[in-house]
C-alpha cells in the first residue's frame, strides 16, 4: 500500500519538474535493468528516470560507478546506507555479502528496530575492514559531522576498498556549514533547509552541509583515503547536466 507521505512526495517532485510540453522519453542503458527508456521531466539528473526501475540518474549513477570500477562483485562485501532503492537492490543481488541500514534517531548504532538495522554514519558499529564497497545516495549532507562519517567509512573498508556516494554539490568556492547540533538541538548557521525522505515525507530531513564541488574531494581525502576523484555521469543526452559521483579508494 502506498503511504500518504509517498504520495505527497510524488506531488512535490512533479511540482518542481519542467513544463509538461518539455517532457521527453528517450532510449538508454540503465545500469540497474539494462536496455530501457528514460523519462526526462527536466534536463538534470534528479528529473531523469528509468521507466523500468523508476530510479533517477542520481541514484543510478552510484551503480554506474560500481560497475565500471569494481570487478568480481560476487566475491565482494558491500554496505549501502539505505534499505531501499536501486543501489540497494543492485548490490544485494550482485555481491557475495551485503549489509544495509537506516538512521533512526535516538537508537544505538547496530540496534535492530522493527527488523531494520540502525546505523549512525558518524559511529558505525561494524568492525574494521568489513567491506569492499560502501555506498550512499544523498546522505552525508544530513550528517552533522561529515568528516567523522568519512573516517568511519574508511575504517570499515578493507585496503583497496571504495567509498562511492552522491551528495548535492554546488559551484561555490567552499563547502558551507548550514547547521550544528548543540545540546541535542539543531542550531542554524544559515537559512534553514530540509530535504524529503521516503520514510518521513517532503521537507522533513534537516540539511547540515551545502557541499562545494571544488572542495568535496579534499574533505574526503582528509579522512585517510589515498585517492579521491569526482566522476561525471551522463546516461542519456537529454539529461544535459552530468551527475557527479565521489569515488574514494582506501
Q: What is the dihedral of CA 236, 46, 248, 178, to 10 degrees?
A: 150
Mean pLDDT (the chain, rounded): 94
| 102 touches 171 (CB < 8 A) | no
What is residue 1's predicted lDDT score, i.e. its pLDDT? 47
C-alpha to C-alpha distances, 248 to 2, 136, 216, 222, nearest whole angstrom: 36, 12, 11, 11
The pLDDT tens digits for 185-236 are: 999 999 999 998 776 677 789 999 999 999 999 999 999 999 999 999 999 9
The pLDDT tens digits for 6-23 are: 656 666 677 778 899 889
What is residue 11's predicted lDDT score, i.e. its pLDDT? 65
Enumerate domains of the chain plus CATH numbers.
58-249 (3.40.50.150)
φ/ψ (deg, to 5) at 162: -130, 140
The pLDDT tens digits for 42-91 are: 999 999 999 999 999 999 999 999 999 999 999 999 999 999 999 999 99
pTM given for the model: 0.93
Amino acid at each position: 500500500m502506498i503511504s500518504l507521505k509517498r504520495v505527497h512526495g510524488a506531488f512535490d517532485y512533479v511540482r518542481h519538474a519542467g513544463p509538461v510540453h518539455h517532457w521527453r522519453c528517450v532510449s538508454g542503458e540503465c545500469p540497474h535493468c539494462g536496455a530501457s527508456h528514460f523519462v526526462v521531466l527536466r534536463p538534470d539528473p534528479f528529473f531523469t528516470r528509468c521507466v523500468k526501475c523508476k530510479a533517477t540518474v542520481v541514484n543510478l549513477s552510484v551503480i554506474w560507478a560500481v560497475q565500471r570500477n569494481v570487478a568480481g562483485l560476487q566475491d565482494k562485501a558491500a554496505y549501502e546506507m539505505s534499505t531501499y532503492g536501486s543501489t540497494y537492490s543492485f548490490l544485494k543481488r550482485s555481491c557475495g555479502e551485503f549489509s544495509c541500514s537506516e538512521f533512526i534517531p535516538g537508537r544505538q548504532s547496530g540496534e535492530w528496530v522493527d527488523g531494520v538495522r540502525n546505523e549512525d554514519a558518524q559511529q558505525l558499529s561494524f568492525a574494521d575492514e568489513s567491506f569492499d564497497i560502501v555506498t550512499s545516495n544523498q546522505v552525508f549532507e544530513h550528517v552533522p559531522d561529515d568528516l567523522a562519517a568519512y573516517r568511519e567509512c574508511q575504517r570499515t573498508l578493507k585496503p583497496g576498498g571504495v567509498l562511492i556516494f552522491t551528495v548535492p554539490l554546488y559551484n561555490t568556492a567552499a563547502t558551507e556549514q548550514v547547521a550544528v547540533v548543540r545540546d541535542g538541538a539543531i542550531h542554524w548557521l544559515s537559512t534553514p533547509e530540509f530535504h524529503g525522505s521516503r520514510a518521513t515525507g517532503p521537507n522533513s530531513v534537516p540539511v547540515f552541509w551545502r557541499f562545494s564541488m571544488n572542495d568535496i574531494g579534499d574533505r574526503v581525502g582528509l579522512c585517510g583515503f589515498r585517492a579521491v576523484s569526482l566522476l561525471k555521469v551522463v546516461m542519456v543526452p537529454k539529461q544535459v547536466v552530468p551527475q557527479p559521483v565521489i569515488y574514494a579508494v582506501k
